A and B are shown apart, each in its own frame.
Chain A
Amino acid sequence: MEYVIEMLNITKKFGEFRANDNITLQLKKGEIHALLGENGAGKTTLMNVLFGLYQPEEGEIRVNGKKVNISNPNVANDLGIGMVHQHFMLVENLTITENIILGSEPKKMGVVNIKDAAKKVAEISKLYGLNVDPYAKIEDISVGMQQRVEILKTLYRGANILIFDEPTASLTPQEIQELIAIMKKLITEGKSIILITHKLQEIMDVSDRVTVIRKGQGIGTVVTSETNPEELATLMVGRQVTFKTEKGPANPTDEVLSVQDLVVTDNRGIERVKGLNLSIRRGEIVGLAGIDGNGQTELIEAIAGLRKVKGGKITINSKDITGKSPREITQSGLGHIPQDRHKHGLVLNFSVGYNAALQEYYHEPYSKNGIMNYKVISEKANKIIEEYDVRTQGEWELSRALSGGNQQKLIIGREVSRDPDLLIAALPTRGLDVGAIEFIHKRLIEQRDNGKAVFLISFELDEVMNVSDRIAVIHDGQIVDTVIPSETNEQELGLLMAGHAIKGKDALKEGVDRDVK
């Protein structure tokens, strides 16, 4: 059997901590090999070893059967290994071609030869069906397109082995489908791919084999066609994971949130929420399903007081909170897990402890007469760390140093522990592994069972269907319909999200016909 990459018994230590402990990964030529593990299991560390950013303490790396010493990323490049990073490393105001040649500019008599480079970029783009415009600026193109630029960058430098680090984390479902097509195309052109991910469905869809690591240890490699998502999840987490969220029937009582004829505009003054009506009661989880950009962000921000309301009325517990400050709204009983954890959720340069107190620092016991009580704050932080399994070195550690999943758990811990009457959870499980997702879903349901109202916003239909008691479908700034999860299916939801507001089987059929036409 021919292996292009062999990482044999790799051990990487940071001090006494073994980030990678005896992991073996063998990549066959022309295969998509998935690397599966929880947040913080050591996937990225292993790939950084392969890419020359870290030196392993034990084990060896072979490329095409020959033992190599990858001392830095340049060596990796020369060996034909390219990495498509999770966070894109692109210069916003340069063109695609300029970004691709950055650092190895082709020169003609001392002047950068953009024209030839652009031609080459266009050729590679055509060969792999990437469909990029070499002269477009990064700031003008979509996230999916930016990722293609990253792929192009590695191909331009002659990579034969591509590492994708959680490539679908920031993509829309449509873009994910396109990415999968590109990956398959790359394979038919003779490339080999390592795909780092914790999304099981993706692995089932595209990979040939899967190597699983758990808490730094190599668990083994399985052939995708001989396994199933349940087995993979068990291998990854180390215990049985339930996919279908367990919950009893809802017992909704009084209304907590009422939104009437709400109108909200975006930063450019364009109306994004157009006369929206919504009601959420105690003891129920209402899911908001919709395609990104249909007014979800503006709706949440308006409820939370982060965006001006142009018209209409919002009440929490029958108290009018329209146009009130975020502080007043929080005090009226709102807890808010924001959509963008880096922008709104955390002060990244604050410690975990400071962030744990971000919503409550201003009142007793966290502060008194203008003086902070950091002892109480660190006690609270430690409680959240323990209860919500936030993996950190301690409450003094900067939040910036935490992995995305643990940052999210910190925010959820902070918001849920305040026990708000209404909890808005916007994309609460984005970027998390199945174990963490299960945990968060349980917490949301627990809040509901305690008689609180939960408003869940998600782009993942699975999540909305599994967790919600009612699903409100948003399209073009309005709720087009409200459905019960058990009485609907993904197809119907998909049609509603696309703006087909008529319910029932005939309508469904009609909708499909319309789409076909």
Chain B
Amino acid sequence: MSNRVVSLLVPVISIILGLLVGAIVMLFSGYDPVNGYIALWNGIFGDSYAIGETIRQISPYILAGLAVAFAFRTGLFNIGVEGQLMVGWFAAVYVGAAFELPMIIHLPITLLAAALAGAIWGLVPGILKATLRVHEVIVTIMMNYVALHVVNALIKTVSGGSYKTEKIQPTASLRSDFLSNLTDYSTLHYGIFVALAMVIVMWFILEKTKTGFELKSVGFNENASQYAGMNVKKNIVLSMVISGAFAGLAGAMEGLGTFGSMTSQGGFTGIGFDGIAVALLGANTPLGVIFGASLFGSLKYGANNMPNAANIPLEIVSIVVALIIFFVASGYIIRVGLQRLNKKKEAK
């Protein structure tokens, strides 16, 4: 087996193993795994509506994954995607509702506002890390809580005491009749194109620009970067700002695409935290993030169909989904196993 075959086999075997163990769990809990998986499949790919909703679910995961991956590639660990996403969501909805402008101006400004809000939320831990060496993990986690409560308070303020903001103007919406009609009236919106464009942006910044060269250099070795004349502090802050901007756009997906408003949040959305797993599944590369986000988004959306179509309780469904992701993440074990098998064959 060549290395190439191994690389292709690993994800396939991982997913099969995950499904198998998931099946055992369902079996022991007294549910029919075959029905369960048919329901999962139909929930993801069953009809054009399901496909539309699945893609809609993938968009924010891509952006959250990019946010984590970008920080990681430049030497930082951004656990604050969740908070940056929430402030981005609010900023998008606020700007989307408060102004009346032609779409060609309104929509870009709204997206920019979301990115800017996320960037500012990333700026704080960035500055603290660069100047006082406070570890970014601690600050970003705390900033998540600050975001949750600040955003809830702001929703109350701008809505005059209500639990929900106004609907955004149609000129700021990512909703698309065309995409919606195409997928049997699903809520699929243009956000997926924004997300894919950002995948290219991340690749471009890291692999093509001078800024990317400096960011990576500082992430790997601050001393050598200082020796080479780079401004280490500036690059640490910039890394968090760009990462936060991606996260803010993930919030815009929810605000401008899926919901069109923001409701007071009882807790975290989870997208930001899942973004960590998405990035790691994708080995922190832009293309890999698309793969990780697709897996997460599909399972998350498709699993909704399992309680309805196969009568499997949500708790069991969560376990099954977690198992599949676990086995994909532990692809390393399978890779080692395959290589052992290879060696034995060669020895014979």
> Which residues from chain A sit less than 8 Å from chain B, CB to CB?
304, 306, 325-327, 330, 336, 338, 343-350, 354, 358-359, 361-362, 367, 370-372
Residues of A within 8 A of B221 (CB): 343, 346-349
Q: Is the contact region of chain A dominated by helix, strand, or loop, or is it mixed? A: loop
**CA of A93 to CA of B208, assembled, Å:** 42
- Cβ-defined contact, A350 with B210, below 8 A: no
Complex alpha-carbon distance, A359 and B221, angstroms: 14
Minimum CB–CB distance for A75 against chain B, Å: 19
Question: Is A350 a contact partner of B227 (Cβ separation < 8 A)?
Answer: no
Query: Chain B binding site: helix, strand, loop or mixed by DSSP?
Result: helix
User: Is B185's beta carbon under 8 Å from chain A?
Assistant: no
Name the CB-closest residue of B to A338: B227
B78 vs chain A, min Cβ distance (A): 19
Cα distance A109–B76 when bound, in Å?
45
Counted as pairs of residues, one from A and one from B, with CB atoms less than 8 Å apart, the total is: 61
Contact of B99 with A by CB under 8 A: no
- Which B residues touch A359, using CB under 8 A? 228-229
Tell me, rounded to whole Å, the shortest Cβ–Cβ distance linking B306 to chain A: 43
Contact (Cβ within 8 A) A367 B210: yes
Please give, as numbers and ranges, the residues of chain A lying within 8 Å of B217 by CB-CB distance.
Answer: 347, 350, 354, 358
Docked complex Cα distance between A372 and B227 (Å) = 20
Interface residues of B in 216-247 (CB under 8 A from A): 216-217, 220-221, 223-230
Q: Is the CB of B227 within 8 A of A371?
A: no
In the complex, the answer to whether B209 meets A348 with C-beta atoms within 8 Å is no
Question: A362: which of B210, B220, B227 is its contact (CB, 8 Å)?
Answer: B210
Indicate whether A358 sits within 8 Å of B210 (C-beta atoms), given known contacts A347-B221, A350-B217, A350-B220.
no
Q: Given that A367-B210, A372-B208 are contacting pairs, would A347 and B224 also be in contact in the complex, using a CB cutoff of 8 Å?
A: yes
Give bound CA distance, A343 to B221, whole Å.
8
Q: Find out whether the CB atom of A347 lies under 8 angstroms from the CB atom of B226.
A: no
Would you call A326 and B226 a contact (CB within 8 A)? yes
Given A325-B229, A330-B229, A350-B217, is A358 in contact with B224 using a C-beta cutoff of 8 Å?
A: yes
Shortest Cβ distance from residue B343 to the other chain A in the assembled complex, whole angstroms: 12
CB neighbours (8 Å) of A362 from chain B are 210, 229
Decide if A326 touches B211 in the complex (CB within 8 Å).
Answer: no
- Complex-state Cα separation, A343 to B224, whole angstroms: 6
> Once the chains are docked, how many angstroms separate the CA of A346 from the CA of B224?
6
Minimum C-beta distance from B319 to chain A (A): 37
Across the interface, name the chain B residue whose C-beta is closest to A340: B223
**Bound-complex Cα distance A325 to B229 (A):** 7
Complex Cα gap A348–B224 (Å)? 9
In the complex, which of the residues B209, B213, B227 contacts A344, with contact meaning CB atoms closer than 8 Å?
B227
Nearest A residue to B221, CB-CB:
A347
Q: Are B220 and A349 in contact (CB under 8 A)?
A: yes
A344 to B229, CA, bound (A): 11
B211 touches A347 (CB 8 A): no
From known contacts A345-B224, A347-B221, A350-B220, infer whether A326 and B213 are also in contact, taking CB-CB under 8 Å.
no
